[in-house]
């Protein structure tokens, strides 16, 4: 996969990578472009583009509110696809889609994956689509050489991790704790033990998300995970200081 090669190359230069997350259409597509530019210039390594959905079951109140506002302002799946094309033509940073299966189902799974390929989207995170129910999705992703990103959680048994890893490509997203995005995470010995289990299950780079919000969190992940995922905190920074403050925040994580 092209994305895995990119990540391996970046990891020869840095001991941990930064992945950020935005909700497409929030506060507006114009604002989104400025936020993306600010983060790219600050040195972010890859980025999740969330297509807003009315019932984002994995997301906490901040991302939920952003999704609701984006939908209220008329954000559509097609508008997100068109905007993604603009981003991939402008920036060299890899972009992934994050959304929920209903979006793919309504659009048509094969057509949606084809649309991703035409826009040079490198991967997708669909948290409510397990491999057992994703045959068409996985087949289409393989055909277009796009990486399906699967999630481990602290409650995943070792056998389940091994199973998910057999379908994963490029990296695995390790959810730091039970619950939704945005809450605090205890970066303690228990988390280290969990990441050790994740490491045993896959040779792929590990991304750790849910609760990473400051440099000290990123520092605690060095040597345990390859990618720190910053999601909700980006929205908090954006609300308080705008796109420029987001770039400053990303620089501070290094």
Active site residues: 48, 59
> Is-cis flag, bond preceding 222, omega within 30?
no
Q: How far apart are CA 54 and CA 169, in angstroms?
A: 28
Residue 230 pairs with which residues in a beta bridge?
Answer: 20
158 neighbors 131 (Cβ within 8 angstroms): no
The DSSP output letter for 170 is: S
HEC string for 102-113: HHHHHHCHHHHH
* Helix and strand counts by DSSP (H, E) for the chain: 11, 9
């Amino acid at each position: 996969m092209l994305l895995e090669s990119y990540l391996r190359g970046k990891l020869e230069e840095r001991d941990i990578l930064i992945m950020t997350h935005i909700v497409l259409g929030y506060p507006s597509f114009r604002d989104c472009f400025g936020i993306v530019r600010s983060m790219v210039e600050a040195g972010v390594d890859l980025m999740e583009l969330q297509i807003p959905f009315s019932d984002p079951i994995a997301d906490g109140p901040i991302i939920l509110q952003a999704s609701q506002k984006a939908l209220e302002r008329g954000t559509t799946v097609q508008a997100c696809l068109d905007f993604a094309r603009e981003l991939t033509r402008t920036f060299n940073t890899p972009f992934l889609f994050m959304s929920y299966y209903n979006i793919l189902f309504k659009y048509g799974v094969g057509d949606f994956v084809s649309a991703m390929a035409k826009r040079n989207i490198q991967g997708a995170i669909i948290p409510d689509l397990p491999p057992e129910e994703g045959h068409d999705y996985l087949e289409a992703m393989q055909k277009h050489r796009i990486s399906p990103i699967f999630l481990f959680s602290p409650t995943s048994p070792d056998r389940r991790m091994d199973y998910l890893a057999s379908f994963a490509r490029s990296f695995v997203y390790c959810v730091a704790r039970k619950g939704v995005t945005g809450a605090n995470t205890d970066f303690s010995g228990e988390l280290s033990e969990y990441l050790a289990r994740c490491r045993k299950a896959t040779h792929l780079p590990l991304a750790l998300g849910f609760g990473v919000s400051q440099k000290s969190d990123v520092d605690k992940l060095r040597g345990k995970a390859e990618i720190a995922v910053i999601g909700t905190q980006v929205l908090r920074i954006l609300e308080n200081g705008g796109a420029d403050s987001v770039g400053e925040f990303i620089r501070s994580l290094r």
